[in-house]
Structure 1
Amino acid sequence: MSWQQKAVIGTDRLLYKLTGGRIGLVSFSGQTGLTLITVGARSGERRENQVQYVADGSSMLVVGSNWGKPHHPAWTANLLAGPDVQVNVRGDVRDVRATLLEGAEREAAWSRMVAAWPAFQDYVERSGGRELRVFRLTPR
């Protein structure tokens, strides 16, 4: 899976770059994707990651699955350290605030995420049972 993951991520980044964030691989799967623009928690440098999202009213839900690896993806630490970030959704750059969801709110959001992409549950099992971080991105 490692070589596939690298190929998918590389191709996805290239598509997003060439199309100004309008098209990525997730588009071809029928899912919705965005480019998350953060500042590195340790480096202080601009970081861009393509992630799948589920619309929730005017907000968006994202999950730090990291393809089922045992550790959280770096972008989730970036959101915890600096929650005021930007997203590029199909070429439209927006300012958002990220909130880590917990308790009942997380469970409701998690159910929506798994309904949209059942593989998220597989990622939990593959990670050894890690609770995947779920964030709400709210316009600011």
Structure 2
Amino acid sequence: MPATPDRSSGRTLIWITASILFTCVLVGGGCLVEYIVLPESKVPSWILVLGFMLISLPWAFWLLTFLYRIFSRCCGCRIDFDVEREGWKVGGGGDGAIAHGDAHVEANVNGIDRTLSVASHESQMPLAKSMAS
């Protein structure tokens, strides 16, 4: 029986990212409230710009993530963080295989050997989490 990889580091990264984005929204909102509440003579001129930048940071993060997902699907190439090897890898379809055009590449996903293709219907495959349990 193959050993399942520890996915707690991925969850930790998600919580750290969410916490940073939440903190940016809180601090940015505080800057905007300070700009509104305090008299104009006591508020630095840069506080309004800082507030808008911090409030818009999660939106920029979302937009970049959205664009990455679109372009990675169009090009058939993704950059994944491999928990088992503790390093970055380039993969086709998000499973670690490197694929170019319609070339078939051997892949081992959840202990099941199969042949992948960029033109295949990978979006119709079952989720890996449901396959592991």
**Is TM > 0.5 for Structure 1 vs Structure 2?**
no
Structure 2-normalised TM-score? Answer: 0.28
Judging by fraction of residues, say which structure has more helix.
2
Query: If the length of structure 1 is used for normalisation, what is the TM-score?
Result: 0.27
Higher RCO structure (Cα 8 Å, ≥6 apart): 1
